[in-house]
Amino acid sequence: MEVVPCNWAERYYTLAVVLLGLLIFSSFVSSITTSMTHLRAFSAEETRKMDRMKKYIVDNRISLQLGSCIFSYLRKGQADYRFLHIQELELYKVLPESLQTDLWLEVAAPVLTSHPLFHRLTSLDEQLAIQTCRAGISEKYVTPDETVFSVGEMATCMQYTLIGKLRYYMGSSRRPRETVRSHWFIAEVALWAIWSHLGRLVASRSCEMLVFDATRFHHLASVSKLLPEMQAYALLFLAEAQGQGPYFTDVTHEPEKLEDMTQQAFSHLDVDRMTGKPSTTMFGTSLWKSRSLLQARNYQYRPGLRRT
């Protein structure tokens, strides 16, 4: 049975439905065409980059083994998903400073407060926590098989693994000594001492990390009212490192001990804030003795932790 419009109203309605369908279909086809054009342009750009790399390798007669490693690395890195970082946001720079600070706080504060010491500092000195999140922390992406740091390299920061997995090789060993996983603080000792890495850290797969710059943190800590407590924590941390001897590494991860040291630094340290001198309590005396012992063992304290 054929159904056809029988009056002017039905004819107008039929015409409107046909035109609307035509517009929707045209828009749908146009969006697909645009997406395919963008994808083709992106693929062409990536192909151009790979061709230029291949030309450079051929022109300079790079060995086949090294060339294969380079292309394997590039293909693997491009295939991995990575977070978009704040520094890559074009509109981030046009935001007012207050909104930039709030954005950094929401990104970095949960990580900062997961460390016992920084959790205590945040509760007692909010401005220190805000400035640390705003100026002392940056984001970092590590591709698979990329070396994060090497043996003998000067440590300039503490790092935190948001997601990913890494391998730690002690000294020149080719066998991994430790597997570093997500939610792991790495090389905290860099905040408290002049430190050279004892091993090599290599990403097993793509990693997203936060980097705590030691120099910036020292600048912020030096003007904080909690500087004596941070000095006490630093002494306890380095005493623990000395006690572990060869078992202490760049990636030593012992949250329970960090919690205990934080409790000691904030519960038992008695400092005269007017003179900056330690008290004569038993804890204060033993603390400064341990400092002298550490100096005798060639531990050099970060200048930013010394009160002028």
Q: Would 154 be classed as within a structural domain?
A: no
Does any domain span residue 94? no
Domain assignment present for residue 241? The answer is yes
In the DSSP assignment, the letter for residue 201 is E
- Beta-ladder partners of 185: 160
Domain extent, residue 233, equals 225-305
Burial of 39 (0-12, 13-18, 19+ CB in 10 A): exposed
What is the pLDDT, as a whole number, of residue 57?
84
Within-domain flag for 261? yes
Element (H, E) at 208: strand 207-213
**Residues 209, 160: Cα–Cα separation, whole Å:** 5
User: Are 192 and 305 within 8 A, CB to CB?
Assistant: yes
Mean pLDDT by 10 residues, the chain (308 residues): 76 87 88 85 81 84 83 66 80 87 90 93 91 91 91 94 94 90 93 92 92 93 90 91 89 91 77 42 32 36 44
Phi, psi of 208 (to 5 degrees): -110, 130
| 247 within domain boundaries | yes
* Number of domains making up the chain: 1
Least Cα distance to 133 among 210, 218, 209 occurs for: 210
Q: What is the pLDDT of residue 41?
A: 82
- Domain contains 74: no
Tell whether 262 is covered by a domain.
Answer: yes
Pairing outcome for strands 147-149 and 157-163: unpaired
Rounded CA separation 63/73 (Å): 15
Cβ neighbors of 77 (< 8 A, separation 6 or more) are 143, 144, 206
CA separation for the pair 229, 1 (Å, rounded): 90
Q: What is the pLDDT of residue 203?
A: 93
